[in-house]
Amino acid sequence: MKKTAVLALGGNAIIKAGQKGTISEQFANTRDALDGIVELIRQGYQLSITHGNGPQVGNLLLQQEAGAKAGLPALPLGVLNAATEGTMGYMIEQSLQNKLHGQGLDKQVITIVSQVVVDRDDPSLKNPTKYVGSSYYSLDEAKALKESLGWSLKEDSGKGWRRVVPSPLPIEIIPAGTIKTLVHQGQIVIAAGGGGIPVCRTENGLLEGIDAVIDKDFASALLALNIQADLFVILTGVDKVALNYSKPNAQELDTMTVAEAQRYYDEGQFPAGSMGPKIRAAIDFLSRGGSEVLITSLPRIVEAFAGKTGTRMVR
């Protein structure tokens, strides 16, 4: 019996630390990132792939800022999310198609640019806290950007002012039914990239975009539930989740239950800026009926599927 999995691929796998993020670099990184995924397809797994877009959308924000100084109208963040879904989906789709073709695997790869519904009354919409982009500004620059572009900015750890946006929770993935059908037919579907395009419903049921960023791990967890995936896989920068991370008494975990994960989270083991959102998304998936979560690094994904590394979470 074939198993279905959702793989949440980090955006930092496509633009690596220290790189400028040229399209040549991104294509090369994408090709390098897919070998393990091809092996899983060879083994018969039915896959949907999601991806982060932090570095990519950050670059687009800088382009908007530069364009605004030249008198060009800036695009809203929701549209930039859609743009990264298209460009990154194209890179992953083409690179994966070529690798599959090279290994004689006859599979279709499809990118679906995905609208994701959030609650128009989500508290985060009135209290933006998620930092986006990599630029820091002086107080005067922050005031000018707020005036010219309508940005919200907050001081960040004494380094300067950064743009912040709302990060509402996803409640519905518009094309989830189509994604489920395609995946269970054996197609490989790239969807909900960067958390998807945030939209809300008006009082008469119409969709409209909002200026926000949806956490891609929460959107990936929702997608895994919607398509009835057997396994939700969070690919990150470490082979296993660890307690006391980066400390001399660090302890890597082979397995965790939901109760254990929640206790460790409440104790502060998983900070908001690193493993925290991933653990919360894993808890959400399992608490709502999901079967299993695997957290590991992309280079070790095949070994992790074989049970040789990674952290597995169960109810």
Give the span between the Cα atoms of 153 and 160, in whole angstroms: 10
Average pLDDT of the residues in 170-190: 97
Residue 226 falls in the annotated catalytic set: no
Q: Which one is catalytic: 16, 130, 160, 209?
A: 130
Q: Which one is catalytic: 52, 58, 278, 290?
A: 278
Average pLDDT of the residues in 58-66: 86
- Locate the domains of the chain by residue range: 4-119+169-314, 128-165
Give the span between the Cα atoms of 215 and 277, in whole angstroms: 8
Q: Which one is catalytic: 10, 11, 58, 194?
A: 11
Residue 278 falls in the annotated catalytic set: yes
Q: Which one is catalytic: 133, 180, 216, 310?
A: 216
Count of other CB atoms within 10 angstroms of residue 166: 22
In this predicted structure, the answer to whether residue 14 has a pLDDT above a threshold of 90 is no
Per-residue pLDDT at 1: 62
Residue 12 falls in the annotated catalytic set: yes
In this predicted structure, the answer to whether residue 146 has a pLDDT above a threshold of 70 is yes
Residue 216 falls in the annotated catalytic set: yes
When pLDDT is cut at 50, 70 and 90, the band that residue 21 belongs to is confident
Architecture of domain 4-119+169-314: 3-Layer(aba) Sandwich (3.40)
pLDDT in tens, 240-289: 999 999 999 999 999 999 999 999 999 999 988 789 999 999 999 999 99
Q: Which one is catalytic: 3, 12, 146, 186?
A: 12
| 49 strand-pairing partners | 7, 190
Give the span between the Cα atoms of 73 and 235, in whole angstroms: 36
